[in-house]
Amino acid sequence: MDLFEKCKQFIRHIEAQNAGYYPYFRPISSSVGTEVIVNGQKMLMIGSNNYLGLVTDSRVTEAAIEAIKKYGSGCTGSRLLNGTLDLHEQLDHELAQFLGKEKALVFSTGFQTNLGTISCLVQKDDLIFSDRSDHASIVDGCRLSFGKTIKFKHNDMEDLERLLSNNNHECGKLIVVDGVFSMEGDICNLPEIVRLAKKYEARILVDDAHAIGVLGENGRGTTEHFGLTDETDMIMGTFSKSFASLGGVIASDTEVIDYIKHVSRALIFSASIPPPAAASCLMALRIVQQEPERRERLWEITNRIHTEMKGMGFELGTSETPIVPIYIGEDEKTFAFWRELSDEGLFTNPIIPPAISPGQSLIRTSYMATHTDRQIDRVLDTFRRIGKKFGII
C-alpha cells in the first residue's frame, strides 16, 4: 500500500470547509490583544492563552526589539554548543528564583520541555503515572521514554492510589500532571498527589503551563496555590501564555537540571530560543511580579464569567480558572454553535474528540486581564442569545 494513501483518504477538513464549519488555522492579521482581525472581520478574542494581556504590552515588545538590536534575530545553534547567551542564563536564574527551585533550564518550546524532560529521566523498568487528561506533550514524552506509562482517571485520586498500590515495585516512579488542565480548566489535586508520592516513593512533575502567572498569591502557579513548592520535585512552565513569548522551562534541584541539561536530546539537538523571545519573556516575568493587579483583574473577570454563565444554565464542568469550557455535547451542534459565535464576532475554539471525551464536545473560552467590562457584557449577552436559540439554556 502507498504510504500516502491515508493522506488521500483524509477529507474531514474538506467536508468541514464545504459545510462552512472549519474553525482551525484561522489567519489573524493583527496583534493578538482583546480584539483581532480575522479575514477582515474585527473579532473579540476569548480564545487565546494571553491571560495577563502582556503580548501587546509596550515594555515586552520594546524588550524584544532591543534584544534583536543587540544579539540579532537568532542564535543559530543549540544551548549545548553556540546557542547559549547571557540572556538565556539570566532567564534561567530568574525563573528558578520565581518558581522557588535551585535551578531552571529554558527549552525552545513548552512541548519540547515535557518531551525532553520525561524521555531522558524515565528509563527502562521505571513507571510513569499520568492523568488521562494530561497535555499531548506529556503523552509524547511518555511514549519516547523507555519506561511503562500507567494512566489514571482524570483527577481521580482513588484510582491513582489503586494503580500505585498495584505497581509498587522497586523502581523509579514519576507522577506527572497538569497543574491546570487546558481543556477542562480545573486544577489538579496536588495535596493528595504529594501525599501519595510520599507514601509510594514517587517523584512529581507538574506541568504549570496554564497556571504560572494565574494561580498563587504571587502568580507562581499551582505549587504556590497549595503551598507545596518544596514538596513538588519538578515544575514545568511555558512562555506562550502569561509570559507572552515562546519557550519552556523545567525547574528542580541542581543535580536534576544538570542531568537534563547534558542528556535531554530535545534540548541538545534543538536551537535555543531566539533573543527577542528570551528578552520578552524576561520582561513579562518581571511585570508578573511587579503588577499583581493584573492577576487580580483576571480573577475578577473569571469569577464573573463563572457566576453568570452558570446562572444562565450553561454547563461548565469542573472548571475553576480563566479557562471556561462551555459544554455542548454533540460535535455537529458544537460546530454550529461556534459558527454562530463567530458570525457575532466572538473568537472561540470548538473542541471535539480526541482532544475531549466522546459526547463532551465544547466551546473553549479563556479570558484576559485586559478585557473591559463592556467586552465581557458583550460576551455574556451573545452567549445568552445563542444559548437560548440552540435550546442549551
Of 19-23, 39-43, 204-208, 257-261, the poorest mean pLDDT is in 19-23
Question: What pLDDT score does 20 carry?
Answer: 84
3 located within any domain? no
105 located within any domain? yes
Q: Where are the alpha helices (DSSP H) in the chain?
A: 5-9, 12-19, 58-71, 86-99, 110-121, 136-144, 157-166, 190-199, 222-226, 254-263, 265-268, 275-290, 292-312, 331-343, 373-389
Q: Which of 263, 290, 317 is the last residue of a domain?
A: 290
Band of pLDDT at residue 35, cut at 50, 70 and 90: very high
Average the pLDDT over 103-124 and give the result. Answer: 98
271, 326: one domain? no
Average the pLDDT over 199-223 and give the result. Answer: 98
Instruction: Read off the pTM.
Output: 0.96
Pairing of strands 248-252, 234-238: antiparallel
Give residue 334's region: left, alpha or beta (phi > 0; psi -120 to 50): alpha
- Residues 371, 46: Cα–Cα separation, whole Å: 9
User: Are the C-beta atoms of 190 and 228 separated by less than 8 Å?
Assistant: yes
3-state secondary structure of 47: coil
304, 382: one domain? yes
pLDDT at 355 exceeding the cut of 90: no
Tell me the average pLDDT of the chain: 96
**CB 389: neighbour CB atoms within 10 A?**
11
Question: What pLDDT score does 354 carry?
Answer: 84
- Residues 376, 374: Cα–Cα separation, whole Å: 5
179-193 residue pLDDT tens: 999 999 999 999 999
- Domain containing 307 equals 8-45+292-389
276-322 residue pLDDT tens: 999 999 999 999 999 999 999 999 999 999 999 999 999 999 999 99
As annotated, the active-site residues are 182, 210, 241
Question: What pLDDT score does 102 carry?
Answer: 98
Q: Which of 256, 290, 324 is the last residue of a domain?
A: 290
24, 91: one domain? no
110 located within any domain? yes
**CB 201: neighbour CB atoms within 10 A?**
12
- Looking up residue 144, the CATH number of its domain turns out to be 3.40.640.10
Domain count, the chain: 2
114-131 residue pLDDT tens: 999 999 999 999 999 999
Q: Which of 271, 290, 309 is the last residue of a domain?
A: 290
135, 259: one domain? yes
